[in-house]
Amino acid sequence: MDNGKIDKIIDKYPSDSSSLIQVLLEIQSENRWLPKEALAKVSERLKVPLNRIRHITTFYKAFSVVPKGRHEIHVCTGTACHVRGAKRVLGAVQDATGLKPGLTGEDFRFSLETVNCVGCCALGPVMVIDGEHHGKLAPAKSKDVLKNYE
């Protein structure tokens, strides 16, 4: 991500620490992750110490300081999904993508994460890809869903 894009994002907000979270979210939305260079630019422009920014970006799960895939897969492993077979769905997704939770593929096609709840327990087991919910999954169906994301 070039400095011009980062500057345009920062320019939309007040130039102080109150804008930090929103600026970081927008940069990540554009870039799919937060590179060190972007964090340094935000630190400079908003006058927020870089160590504070690093603390925030590593504390909140919404932020990523490592590159993410074009498609982000979140498999719910909360109680309702767990008792309905989330472990088998996760296994099928891992087999199909070759990824373990927390990793991104070398081709940057997919990133895989597990989450404790996505808020639609009645549809369990649930997988969310790029914000789109897929419920009542069986392992084979989860593999079919992945084929729709190139």
Query: Taking 80 as the threshold, does the pLDDT of residue 11 lie above it?
Result: yes
| DSSP at 104 | B
Q: What is the tens place of the pLDDT at every residue in 56-77?
A: 999 988 899 999 999 999 999 9
CA nearest to 75, candidates 40, 103, 53, 56: 103
Query: How far apart are alpha carbons 34 and 67 in whole angstroms?
Result: 8
Please name the helix (run of DSSP H) or strand (run of DSSP E) that holds residue 86, with its range, or none: helix 86-97
Q: What is the tens place of the pLDDT at every residue in 82-127?
A: 999 999 999 999 999 999 999 999 999 999 999 999 999 999 999 9
Model pTM score: 0.79
Domains and CATH numbers, the chain: 3-59 (no CATH), 71-146 (3.40.30.10)
pLDDT the model gives residue 16: 87
